Structure 1
Amino acid sequence: MVLVRHANTLTIAVPSGSVNLGSAHPNRTISASLGTVTVVDSRSGIPPWTATVTATNFTTGSGASTYTITKGQAAYWSGPITAQSGTGTRVPGEPTANDTVSLATQQTAFSGRKTSAITQSTSWAPTVVITVPASAVAGTYTGVISHSVA
């Protein structure tokens, strides 16, 4: 007799460290890939999952208004699946650049559901697009883009 135990976990893995978007002049946009994001669903049953993305404001210097690029000036698109294993459905939140959404509020990056008890993994490589406001001062801006899954 073989006893199989399921880890019964739902996890998300994102690249560690920071992403350098480069530089852009005011009234211009800059974009870059955030690297590969992977959701692994080894829960028992076939419950759905949703991965979401949020952002903070991007600031430099004192953080005053001219030193801030608001999260509403950050946009995101998940892109298509880049790798997958296991059976089930997977739906990108923003499959193409034409589907880009503002990060002013939390957005759905990807969703899925297993169709069997086998572990399912889903990967994608999202892109972030930042619009530099006309009032922005020169500087190195930092902010946080976070993914979570439930």
Structure 2
Amino acid sequence: MSTRPAILLGRLPAAAAALALACGPLTPARNAAAVTAAPVTVAWRADSLSITVPDSASLGSGTAGSTLSASLGTVTVLDTRGGNPIWTATVASTDFTTGAPVRTITKANVSYWSGPATAASGGGSRVPGQATAAQKVTLTTSATAFSGRKLNGIANSTSWEPTLVVTVPAAATAGTYTGTVTHSVA
């Protein structure tokens, strides 16, 4: 029986929300030499598209060469925009690092799958980015976490509980590794 030092993947800040803001046309000055100021019109919309995510998550601990898998908690998109707009939530990850000197588990070792919707309200359609674990994607680049389309005039919310899977390299050094998983919506 061999013993390996434990690898602990701890607190993962998981929040970065994109906020949609609609701006109206800017009124340009007609003759810059004759006009010192031009009126500017900005339309501020009361309806919005937003995303909420857990503040942090812990994947637990494991040994070099193991795989850690855990839920990040509930992610929710709320769409109160008018019309029948579509939205896409994306997810990205940084490398996971520990110590000084810095040791790294690269994001090539980090995978994600959204799973199905765990809660939904309002009409419209919802499509998970990866409905099952077999469809998980590596987060070397950003990936679609979920997408949807709301019905005209009806507020729409969609929630899911994504799973993060980290493969700890066999040569990893013991320590508490942290990284950032960012969800955004547009």
Q: Could you say whether these structures have the same fold, taking a TM-score greater than 0.5 normalized by the shorter chain as the test?
A: yes
Partner of 2:157: 121
Matched residues in 1 for 2:46 and 2:60: separation?
Answer: 40
User: Deviation at 1:15?
Assistant: 1.0
Partner of 1:8: 47
Partner of 2:83: 45
1:87-146 residue CA offsets vs partner (Å, 9 max, x unmatched): 111000000111110011100000000122110000000000000001110000000001
Return the match for 1:100 from 98, 112, 136.
136
Matched residues in 1 for 2:180 and 2:124: separation?
Answer: 31
Q: 4+ runs of 1 displaced by more than 4 Å?
A: none
Larger Rg: 2
2:124 is matched by which residue type in structure 1?
G
- For structure 1, the residue ranges without an aligned partner over 5 or more in a row are 1-5
1:55 is matched by which residue type in structure 2?
S
Partner of 1:3: none
Matched residues in 2 for 1:13 and 1:116: separation?
Answer: 23
Matched residues in 1 for 2:51 and 2:58: separation?
Answer: 22
1:49-93 residue CA offsets vs partner (Å, 9 max, x unmatched): 0000000000001354xx100011000000000000011110000
2:70 is matched by which residue type in structure 1?
A
2:110 is matched by which residue type in structure 1?
A
**Amino-acid identity (%):** 61
User: Deviation at 1:7?
Assistant: 3.0
Matched residues in 2 for 1:62 and 1:88: separation?
Answer: 49
Matched residues in 2 for 1:90 and 1:32: separation?
Answer: 23
Change (3 A) 1:136 1:32: same
Return the match for 1:21 from 59, 73, 89.
59
Helix, strand or coil at the partner of 2:91: strand
Partner of 2:108: 72
Change (3 A) 1:144 1:83: same
- For structure 2, the residue ranges without an aligned partner over 5 or more in a row are 1-44
Matched residues in 2 for 1:23 and 1:114: separation?
Answer: 40
Matched residues in 2 for 1:116 and 1:88: separation?
Answer: 9
User: Deviation at 1:26?
Assistant: 1.3
Return the match for 1:62 from 81, 97, 100.
100
